[in-house]
Structure 1
Amino acid sequence: MANDHIDITVEPGEVHALLGENGAGKSTLMNQLYGLLQPDEGQIVVNDEPKVFRSPRDAIAAGIGMVHQHFMLVPVFTVAENIALGHEEVRGGPLGWLDRRRSRKDVIETSKRYGLPVDPDALVEDLPVGAQQRVEIVKALTRDVDLLILDEPTAVLTPQETEELLAVMRSLTAMGKSIVFITHKLKEVKAIADRITVVRRGQIVGTATPDTSEDELAALMVGRAVSLEVDKAPAEPGRNVLKIANLVVDDDRGVRAVDGLDLVVRAGEVLGIAGVQGNGQTELVEAVMGLREVRGGTVELDNENLGTMTTKRILRSGVGYIPEDRSHDGVVKEFSVAENLVLDMYDRAPFGNTFKLDAGSVASNAAERIEQFDIRCQSSETPVGTLSGGNQQKVVVAREMSRPLRLFIASQPTRGVDVGSIEFIHNRIVHERDQGTAVLVVSSELDEVVGLADRVAVMYRGRILAIVSPDTPREELGLLMAGITNSKQQAANDAAVQQAANDAADQRAANDAADQRAASDTAVQQAGSDAPEEGTK
């Protein structure tokens, strides 16, 4: 049972936050309100009138719009075509042709009225995530809705895009619109909500106001006290595991994204990368994982050159990887939970070989991981695409952290995950560090970077601008993320970055010396084999 006798009321002109852990039933409830699912019992009342929604068309006609966690846009269509889809303006009668000019005009007028700038002629696939979300909101507002449902709207946004979205929400409620705001993020709830309803395992367990503390909200969500701080002992770093020297990487448009970057990650430490999204973090991680071409420089794992390896070989060299976009790179939605949990080991014992899977081993592994990582699913055979976003993330984390690792790369590791699961994932990352694994964490959440990291590398325009302590004041980190340093900081930063470059250069020199010795040994052996045998002329 996803929803168990839930009662909720949304008033005109308010932001009503729906708070709950992954799999609590929040999205199921809203999908009924939007006509994608039909309730088995109970009723929906709009403006004192009972309604039955057989489809989203019925919900839209009643003034209800929804922006889904995973956007419902056609990538190869323009913004105007996506917004017109479903209620197209037609010229020349019912069998006429699409009035593209009218569609563009509607988009421009709506975006101006609500302060949501979008380019009606841009292809959706070319837009960043924040802009795609604006398209979804404009699409709902062109239908003249009175209630807007936002399902995990900030899960994939940068902090700057999140602030912009909260400002849009305030402007919409000022115009009399009502908003249901589904989220896991307590700070955002306290910043924007007028009322808060907490759902746990399909039931309402409490209501709250923005004055309720984060600790109290977290306890209501999870049913127990949750630590919102990362608890870890000081690191004991060892050898240099990951060494990156003078790395150069281009983005999808061929523009330089990583520009001569030097970085070292040591065994037994967490190195966190902080920076405004879009400063090369994605391209850096993809280059390390063999997913993007390296234009220059070197990436080494314990002195092995990763630049010549496939992604499969890199994973099997002892590298764990949580990608920033689980839907695109982390799971195969049509595969079961059990199959997704062995995606990188399916052809190796005990799970299978080149020719077949061992179904028993795959199933027993899934049962163990589901319990260990608290993955909420009907069974291990459930398609992973039917799980909530947070539970999909748990599947990725469970897969990548259940084998021996030398290097663990976590890109946005808790995106779309509830506070209880965040606590669990953070503890697992710290445990991995304490086992001697080198850990690289990339996150747009500065609190997460500072909480997990033993050292913080600030990335700006494709370079490491600074390597600082996690105790560095937030104001200072904010300035660094904007590319602003003072002379004292710059001297210390330059020294840290130079040390990383020197370490990489020393390693290259050692490798060159080893190669030279090997070449000399080969030459001596060759000379010996070419020498005439004794007693011959």
Structure 2
Amino acid sequence: MKLELREITKKFGSFAANRNVSLTVEPGEIHCLLGENGAGKSTLMNVLYGLYQPTSGEILVDDLAVEFNGPSDALDCGIGMVHQHFMLVPVFTVAENVALGSESLKGASLDLETTRSKIREISDQYGFAVDPDAVVEDLPVGVQQRVEIIKALVRDAELLILDEPTAVLTPKETDELLAIMRQLKENGTSIVFISHKLREVREVSDVITVIRRGEVVGSVSPQATPGELAAMMVGREVSLSVTKAEAQAGEEALVVSDLTVVGSNGVTLLENLNLSVAKGEILAVAGVQGNGQVEFAEALLGLRKASGSIRLEGKELVGRSVRQVLEAGVGFVPEDRSTDGLVGPFSVAENLVLDLYKDPRFRSGLSLRKRAIAANAEERIAEFDIRTGSANAHAATLSGGNQQKIVIARELSRPLKLFLASQPTRGVDVGSVEFIHERIVAERDSGVPVIIVSTELDEVYALADRIAVFFHGRLMGIVGPDTPREILGQMMAGATEDEVRATPPPDGDGGPQPPAASQRDAGPSGDDPIHHDGRAVPNAPWEEQA
């Protein structure tokens, strides 16, 4: 399928989300739409999918002008879309979700067997490994995304729109998705890939069209450098590395002793963790997702019942409520902003004071000081460059990156004794990543102890003064940011630092060396990393992104 957008403009009142956007997607092409959060990428694709009507301009499919009054029209024309936030019913099975909207009947009953057969056929063709009878809420996020792709392919989509498809995926799941995209392309499916992640874009795209503030800046090949792409996205030169001075660590501020967390099913999630964080330093927690990092952050905040001790400036936090922990001076950025960090139907202004509503600045008796809340919002919006048409806009209407800025702005707008951020730049564009990293370093430099939990090794190395490695809820060791990635990868797979360093490398050259910058940018090369007992490390976290 050939797709052409000609001079598409979409306005919401006086605000133009897209201005005269033109692009062409050739048959069997992966065409990337690259831009900052809030650049208008998703709006443009919602126009293409029939969710929005363009203010002006036209859509051509195989050189014929078409009009879409809804997603069903786009689907009938062979265009499918996988949204950033999945459109699945959690309590339904895979087959039931795929059947929604295209139900076929067998007599008076729903013909789910035909749907199951189609799911198995597509799953086998692309190696999806999706069980048609699995309940969606029991599936990992990466598998749920495959269900969304199957929904489109069952309807014979010839062009697939993927809206920020890797925003919620682990590095391993991301690589699997990129492989699926290549296979779809080989089978003739055209793909519009919406992203702001430079490594992924350069790795899989045939053509990259950059959008900035609703307008096309230009189209380039994937051979363009990350620096060139970042500059086109943001409109200025962007530093893809973190500049920070040597940490001036002070006295210990947070001391965690024998911290243990047991789940409701009796499984030990964290086991006898002991670590400390000093004032003016960043401790980064590294580990493959699902190894206790989330439980650690939740235990620090009081969201999980824990045994042991968590002392912040000498005051015990174990046993305190979340409200008491926040009032003790802990700022918290959760891993999932949409579920735990924001209230979508609330305004931007209201979300900026979610945990500050008891502050006398914003409350008078039982009433809120609306003028003070509005003034605070305008100040935070300007300071953190939150892209929104109004402080009164619902938070759910903002792009993912701008929602993240709301959470960051709220937590850094009060004096802190500990700043705890889980996946602080997940789903955030390069310009915003640079800004958020600068704010985190500034918080450290002001003397606040900082804990960062991240599955992105680039982020861990860029920010950390020390790195704590988790595996199966246990602390494998705390190392410096100069530790080679080979050693860190093996620790993340279950080896202690002493075990790794005690085992000489296969060539006996004295130990693994950090890869050169060019090798780090390119990703893995050469043999798989080796475990301390000679086994290959499973799912070693080599995946990186700019």
- The TM-score, its normalising length taken from structure 1, stands at 0.88
1:98 Cα offset (Å): 1.4
Amino acid aligned to 2:150: V
Name the counterpart of 2:53: 38
Is residue 457–residue 468 contact of structure 1 (8 Å, CA) maintained in 2? yes
Is residue 28–residue 185 contact of structure 2 (8 Å, CA) maintained in 1? yes
The CA distance in 1 between the partners of 2:123 and 2:269, in whole Å, is: 31
Is residue 487–residue 497 contact of structure 2 (8 Å, CA) maintained in 1? no
Q: Against the structure 1 CA distance between its residues 215 and 251, is the aligned structure 2 distance closer, same or farther, given a 3 Å change threshold?
A: farther
The alignment status of 1:120 with 2:135, answered yes or no, reads: no
| 2:201 aligns with one of 182, 189, 192 | 189
The CA distance in 2 between the partners of 1:453 and 1:300, in whole Å, is: 22
Aligned length: 488
Is residue 274–residue 481 contact of structure 1 (8 Å, CA) maintained in 2? yes
The CA distance in 2 between the partners of 1:385 and 1:486, in whole Å, is: 43
Kindly report which structure 2 residues correspond to 1:47-446, keeping only aligned pairs within 5 A, or say none.
47-92=62-107, 96-251=108-263, 254-294=266-306, 296-446=307-457
Q: Against the structure 1 CA distance between its residues 173 and 354, is the aligned structure 2 distance closer, same or farther, given a 3 Å change threshold?
A: farther
Deviations 1:202-230 (A, max 9, x none): 00001111111101100000000000100
Name the counterpart of 1:496: none
Is residue 183–residue 189 contact of structure 1 (8 Å, CA) maintained in 2? yes
The answer to which of 19-28 and 458-467 deviates more is 458-467
The CA distance in 2 between the partners of 1:237 and 1:75, in whole Å, is: 46
Is residue 88–residue 97 contact of structure 2 (8 Å, CA) maintained in 1? yes
Q: Against the structure 1 CA distance between its residues 375 and 238, is the aligned structure 2 distance closer, same or farther, given a 3 Å change threshold?
A: same
Q: Against the structure 1 CA distance between its residues 481 and 400, is the aligned structure 2 distance closer, same or farther, given a 3 Å change threshold?
A: same
1:43 Cα offset (Å): 0.9
Q: Against the structure 1 CA distance between its residues 486 and 382, is the aligned structure 2 distance closer, same or farther, given a 3 Å change threshold?
A: closer
Is residue 348–residue 377 contact of structure 2 (8 Å, CA) maintained in 1? yes
The CA distance in 2 between the partners of 1:354 and 1:17, in whole Å, is: 52
The CA distance in 2 between the partners of 1:383 and 1:59, in whole Å, is: 28
1:89 Cα offset (Å): 2.1
The answer to which of 50-59 and 303-312 deviates more is 303-312
Is residue 491–residue 497 contact of structure 2 (8 Å, CA) maintained in 1? no
Name the counterpart of 1:447: 458
Q: Secondary structure at the match of 2:318?
A: helix
Q: Secondary structure at the match of 1:300?
A: strand
The answer to which of 302-311 and 199-208 deviates more is 302-311
Q: Secondary structure at the match of 1:86?
A: coil
The CA distance in 2 between the partners of 1:254 and 1:156, in whole Å, is: 28
Amino acid aligned to 1:352: R
- The TM-score, its normalising length taken from structure 2, stands at 0.87
Name the counterpart of 1:465: 476
Q: Percent identity?
A: 59
Q: Secondary structure at the match of 1:376?
A: coil
Determine which structure has the larger strand proportion and give its number.
2
1:489 Cα offset (Å): 4.4
Is residue 305–residue 319 contact of structure 2 (8 Å, CA) maintained in 1? no
Q: Against the structure 1 CA distance between its residues 253 and 74, is the aligned structure 2 distance closer, same or farther, given a 3 Å change threshold?
A: farther
The CA distance in 2 between the partners of 1:220 and 1:267, in whole Å, is: 38
The CA distance in 2 between the partners of 1:5 and 1:164, in whole Å, is: 35
Amino acid aligned to 2:430: V
The alignment status of 1:18 with 2:33, answered yes or no, reads: yes
1:353 Cα offset (Å): 4.2
The CA distance in 2 between the partners of 1:4 and 1:245, in whole Å, is: 56
Is residue 476–residue 497 contact of structure 2 (8 Å, CA) maintained in 1? no
| CA root-mean-square deviation | 1.5
Return the index of the structure with the highest Cα Rg: 1
1:12 Cα offset (Å): 1.4
The CA distance in 2 between the partners of 1:304 and 1:127, in whole Å, is: 40
The CA distance in 2 between the partners of 1:438 and 1:195, in whole Å, is: 43
The CA distance in 1 between the partners of 2:243 and 2:310, in whole Å, is: 31
Deviations 1:2-47 (A, max 9, x none): 0000001111112111100111000000001111111111111111
Determine which structure has the larger helix proportion and give its number.
1
Name the counterpart of 2:525: none
Q: After TM superposition, where is structure 1 displaced by more than 6 Å over at least 4 residues in a row?
A: none
Is residue 490–residue 500 contact of structure 2 (8 Å, CA) maintained in 1? no
Is residue 246–residue 260 contact of structure 1 (8 Å, CA) maintained in 2? yes
1:300 Cα offset (Å): 2.0
Q: Against the structure 1 CA distance between its residues 7 and 452, is the aligned structure 2 distance closer, same or farther, given a 3 Å change threshold?
A: same
The CA distance in 2 between the partners of 1:65 and 1:412, in whole Å, is: 30
Any gaps of 5 or more consecutive residues in structure 1? 493-537
The CA distance in 2 between the partners of 1:302 and 1:322, in whole Å, is: 21
1:259 Cα offset (Å): 2.1
The CA distance in 2 between the partners of 1:253 and 1:217, in whole Å, is: 48
Q: Secondary structure at the match of 2:23?
A: coil
1:486 Cα offset (Å): 6.6
Name the counterpart of 1:495: none
Is residue 105–residue 111 contact of structure 2 (8 Å, CA) maintained in 1? yes
